[in-house]
Amino acid sequence: MGVIAELWRRALATQPLPGAQGSLVLAVVALAAVATAWPLVRLLVTVCHEGGHAVVAVLAGRRLSGIRVHSDTSGLTVSRGRPRGLGMVATLLAGYPAPAVVGLGLALLVGTGHAAGVLWLLVVLAGVMLVWVRNLYGALVVVVAAGVVGAVTWYSPPVILGWVATGLAWLFLWAAPRPVLELLARHSPGSDAAQLQGLTHLHRHVWGLLWLVLTVSALLAGALLMVPGLYDWARLAVLPAAR
């Protein structure tokens, strides 16, 4: 009971945030990680991607069979239900925007000062997802990611937690558009976009462009949330150019 009480106390506590300059530094570091350590970052993106499929499949009334994450950073979520219809479309649609949704959600919650609570929430969500993972490699990825976040959250001082949570938000927001750009650059017959094209008769590039708009919009919204004063600076920069 003592450990649970301590976890609850820490989750509800507030922590200081990095501030505008610190957040910009974290944005640069996260972008560098996306550019230089993409295979590792993509594993996290794939976990979010498949988690998005899984959550929407359950909400749409489909029966979730399992999730797989592979060593080549690909993934697969299998659900049972009608092979066509709105539920299937929503399930396929949810994967690519999921990392952006996670990043934007982190940005929103971190802004309240509850960085530790946000990080513990990620650990809990990873635990829930683990129940549905059906391969050893995927389970290992989820356990390691949850373990690292949990250890950092437990042992780090409060001021560090704000930086970690903000950095993770930037990482997911920067990473979300890249798989969409890769999808638009190639044709994969089994991709989410190709399956949506078969279900809706809208070209796969329409879905790809929709995902690109959603992920980039989430990145811009997250930047406005995590960099205090960015909106005012952007407005002042645009107004003279418009005159």
Is the model more confident about 169 or about 110?
Answer: 169
Taking all residues of the chain, what is their mean pLDDT, rounded to a whole number?
89
Predicted pLDDT of residue 217 = 97
Contact predicate 179/96, CB 8 Å: yes
Euclidean distance between CA atoms 89 and 102, whole angstroms: 20
Contact predicate 48/103, CB 8 Å: no
Is residue 238 very low, low, confident or very high in pLDDT (cuts 50, 70, 90)? Answer: low
Q: What is the mean pLDDT of residues 156-177?
A: 94
Sign of the CA dihedral running 46, 50, 55, 59: positive
Question: Against a cut of 0.85, is the pTM above it?
Answer: yes
Compute how many other C-beta atoms are within 10 angstroms of the C-beta atom of residue 65. 13
Which alpha helices (DSSP H) does 80-135 contain, by range?
86-93, 98-110, 115-130
Predicted pLDDT of residue 83 = 83
Residue range 221-231, pLDDT digits in tens: 999 999 877 76
Predicted pLDDT of residue 84 = 86
Amino acid at 196: L
Q: Is the pLDDT of residue 160 over 70?
A: yes
Strand pairing partners for 67? Answer: 77, 133
